[in-house]
Amino acid sequence: MLKQKLKQLLATVTTTALIFGAAVGTTPLKAEAVTGGEPEETKITILGTSDIHGRFVPWDYDLDGANTSGSLTQLYTIVKQVRAENPNTILVDIGDMIQGNSAELFNAYPMSSAATAMNAMGYELWTMGNHEFDFGLDVLKKITDQFTGSLLAGNVYKENGDRYFPAHNIIEKAGIKIGFIGMTTPMTAVFKKGSDKIAGIEFKDPVTETQKAIDEIEGQVDVMVGIMHMGVDNENGVANTSVTDIANANPELTAIFAGHMHKLVKSQEINGVLVTEPDKYGTHISRIDLTFTKQDGEFVLKDRSTTAIPVKSSDGTIVNSDEGLLELLQPYHEIARADANTVIAELKGINMVPKNEIKGIPSVQTQETPLAAFFNEVMLHYGKTDVVAHQIDNDNAKLDVGAIKKKDISYNYQYAGGEVSVYNITGKDLKDYMEWSAGYFNQSRPGDVTISFDKTRRASKYSTNDFFGGITYEIDLTEPYGSRIKNIRKLDGTPIKPEDALTIGMNAYRMDFLVSNQGPMAGRTFEKVWSTQDEDSFGDTEGTIRRLAVRYLQEVKNGVYTAVQPNNWKIVGVDMTSDVHKDVTYLINQDFNGS
């Protein structure tokens, strides 16, 4: 068995290779093969990207400004250098390529921006991410048909029991056969529940499907490598949604490229399987090196290592874009910029987000802002519910008086797929949800003059500090977690009681977390009445909060929106008016300024 062979040969297996020094190309690169007294060695290098989310060029279309923290054009510079070092290099992607940063503008084009870039870079494999399914199977087929490499997602099945995508692919380099196994997160079925975008397909257990794929190719390959659109940890407490569970059940794998969770994992060993994840947005590219020797006519794995190569090195040096790829993508770039700068309305009154009083403590997360009130207003209008809830994932949210452009909506509401789904809940359910949200903050102590955040909650992939509209309430930070929400009332002043029947409008992704094993309402079920993305409503694209916000400004507000300071909720229990608070604010801001 391959498993036994690996266990015998890999007595010392986990080494993390530092590929580059301070910047790409500043450190001599290793040779492909080593000869001499030892048997000749052959090295296979595998490079993996994940969660690019439309960052094809170093430009943020939500800001309409350069962003050199990561992009495919910069990663291609690294890819070329690694290929020059070792011609036996394989390039793969772990999913979530086609959504975000205006990539969806080109879904209907004869050649999408994603396929154009991936083909030019020479990707050989592409595992589907959950966001590949955002636009429906027809759009996905159109884009993947443009891709010249091979596709993977072995746990996605048709209704007739056949796989929708292949589970494995064998690539041979220098006579060495690498068996790649690709799976996508089964949580896609949860994220898209109630949508017709995944009608006709089923997402099965990736742990079981990985074992099935191993059985199908074992004996045909020298090693097996996973390309899994899943993170290291289970998502929302759901078993078998992580590469940890895959590695624990399938030690036959030599290594796994992980993704989905937007985490940087340079090298981690799980049950003898090496794991790496390249963060998000093209800031890193993961590298796996497999070194083989030939014994008795067979290739034997001698060593393996993983790392993640950054676009921006520790000394601040940034990898430049590949000029050829940049030029190839220029037409898409110009179209995306023009779209982002489309004026949709005029903002009057006051700026929607006040400046941060204390640097490092975003005001958009600590006080009621006209921006959050605006999105609540949009959701209440189209959802027609008693209550709405949303989060703002951008700590640097900003929308000042003047022209409102399309990019401003995307910049300030960053969940591209966010919609308004309507559920039946009770007053108790609402309070439990709100108490969980208020856990975003630390409990205040006597003498505290600033608000602070729970560090675990702040580290979440998305913000877990939700804002509620259609009601008034207070968050008392002197109280422990679970007892902070006070004076919940409807806008007419009517108190909300635990037994009250209510409707709430929110995105389904958040509700799915709330009722998950790790959620504050685990074990409860809620009826989804309808969604703005229903086909008989606004549809999957027009039913997003982003599109509804644009529609609201143009059709309901006739292109003019006047922002005022709302007064529906506040945080209490921290003295923000004392002289001590002013002194602390001054000192903190001086420190930030380097004074």
287-330 per-position pLDDT tens digit:
999 999 999 889 999 999 999 999 999 999 999 999 999 999 99
Is pLDDT above 70 for 592?
Answer: no
In degrees, rounded to 5, the angle at the alpha carbon of residue 39 between the alpha carbons of residues 38 and 43 is 110
Q: Write down which residue in 296, 321, 336 finishes a domain.
A: 336
Same domain for 548 and 415: yes
* 206-224 average pLDDT score: 98
Asked, for residue 414, whether it belongs to a domain, the answer is yes
pLDDT digit string, tens, across residues 391-449: 999 999 999 999 999 999 999 998 878 999 999 999 999 999 999 999 999 999 988 88
**Residue 31: inside a domain, yes or no?**
no
* Of the candidate ranges 36-45, 118-127, 151-160, 333-342, the one whose mean pLDDT is the lowest: 36-45
What is the identity of the amino acid at 575?
Answer: D
Q: Are residues 274 and 234 in the same domain?
A: yes
Would residue 33 count as lying in a domain? no
Where is the domain boundary, 336, 368, 391? 336
* Statement: residue 127 has pLDDT above 70: yes
Mean per-residue pLDDT for 201-220? 98
Choose among 349, 285, 268, 283: nearest CA to 318: 283
- State whether 434 and 508 are in the same domain: yes
Residue corresponding to tokens 């000029």? 323
Least confident of 13-17, 377-381, 567-571: 13-17
Question: What percent of the chain has pLDDT above 90?
Answer: 80
Q: Which residues contact 594 (CB under 8 A, 6 or more apart)?
A: none
Q: Is residue 89 part of a domain?
A: yes
Q: H helices within 354-489, ranges in order?
A: 363-366, 370-383, 406-412, 427-438, 455-458
CATH code of the domain covering residue 171: 3.60.21.10
Between the alpha carbon of residue 463 and those of residues 351, 395, 480, 506, 549, the distances in Å are: 22, 9, 21, 14, 20
Pairing of strands 41-49, 284-295: antiparallel
Residues 290, 154 within the same domain: yes
One domain for residues 140 and 17:
yes
pLDDT, one tens digit per residue, over 28-57 is: 333 344 444 556 899 999 999 999 999 999
First to last CA, the chain: 64
- Give the tens place of pLDDT for each residue, 11-29: 333 333 333 333 333 333 3
Confidence of residue 580 (pLDDT cuts 50, 70, 90): confident
Same domain? 346 vs 329: no
531 and 581 both lie in a single domain: yes
One domain, residues 292 and 370? no
CB-CB contact of 130 with 124 (8 Å): no
For 174-315, where are the E strands, in sequence order?
176-184, 201-203, 223-229, 255-257, 264-270, 273-278, 284-295, 298-310
pLDDT tens sequence across 256-282: 999 999 999 999 999 999 999 999 999
Judged by DSSP in three states, 7 sits in helix
Q: Which two tokens stand for residue 99?
A: 């959504």
- In angstroms, the CA 177 to CA 241 distance is 28
Answer yes or no: is 398 within a domain: yes
Report yes or no on 35 lying in a domain.
no
CATH number, residue 548:
3.90.780.10
**Interval 161-183: pLDDT, tens:** 999 999 999 999 999 999 999 99
Q: How many CA atoms lie within 13 A of 39 on its CB side?
A: 14
The mean pLDDT value of the chain amounts to 91
For residues 248 and 361, membership in a common domain is answered with: no
39 within a domain of the structure (yes/no): no
Residues 6+ apart with CB under 8 A from 17: 287, 289, 305, 306, 307
Residue 367's pLDDT is 95
* Full domain range(s) for residue 452: 342-592
* Structure confidence at residue 593 as a pLDDT band (50, 70, 90): low
Kindly state whether residues 327 and 353 are assigned to the same domain: no
What is the token pair recorded at 25? 């190309």
CA dihedral of residues 13, 14, 15, 20 (deg, nearest 10): 120
Q: Are residues 109 and 218 in the same domain?
A: yes
Interval 182-186 mean pLDDT: 98
pLDDT of residue 191: 83
pLDDT of 31: 36
Q: What is the pLDDT of residue 577?
A: 75
Q: How confident is the model at residue 584 (pLDDT cuts 50, 70, 90)?
A: confident
Closest CA to 230 of 257, 203, 192: 257
Which of 57-66, 162-171, 476-485 is predicted least confidently? Answer: 57-66
Block residue for tokens 């955040």: 453
| pLDDT tens digits, one per residue of 232-255 | 999 988 999 999 999 999 999 999
**pLDDT score for 401:** 98
For residue 98, being part of any structural domain is answered with yes
**Does residue 191 sit in helix, strand or coil?**
helix
Among 285, 308, 336, residue at a domain's last position: 336
Query: Whole-prediction pTM value?
Result: 0.77
pLDDT in tens, 149-161: 999 999 999 999 9
Cβ–Cβ under 8 Å, residues 208 and 192? no
How many structural domains are present in the chain? 2
How confident is the model at residue 5, as a pLDDT?
A: 37
Strands, E assignment, 137-259? 150-152, 156-158, 168-173, 176-184, 201-203, 223-229, 255-257
Residues 403 and 271 in one domain: no
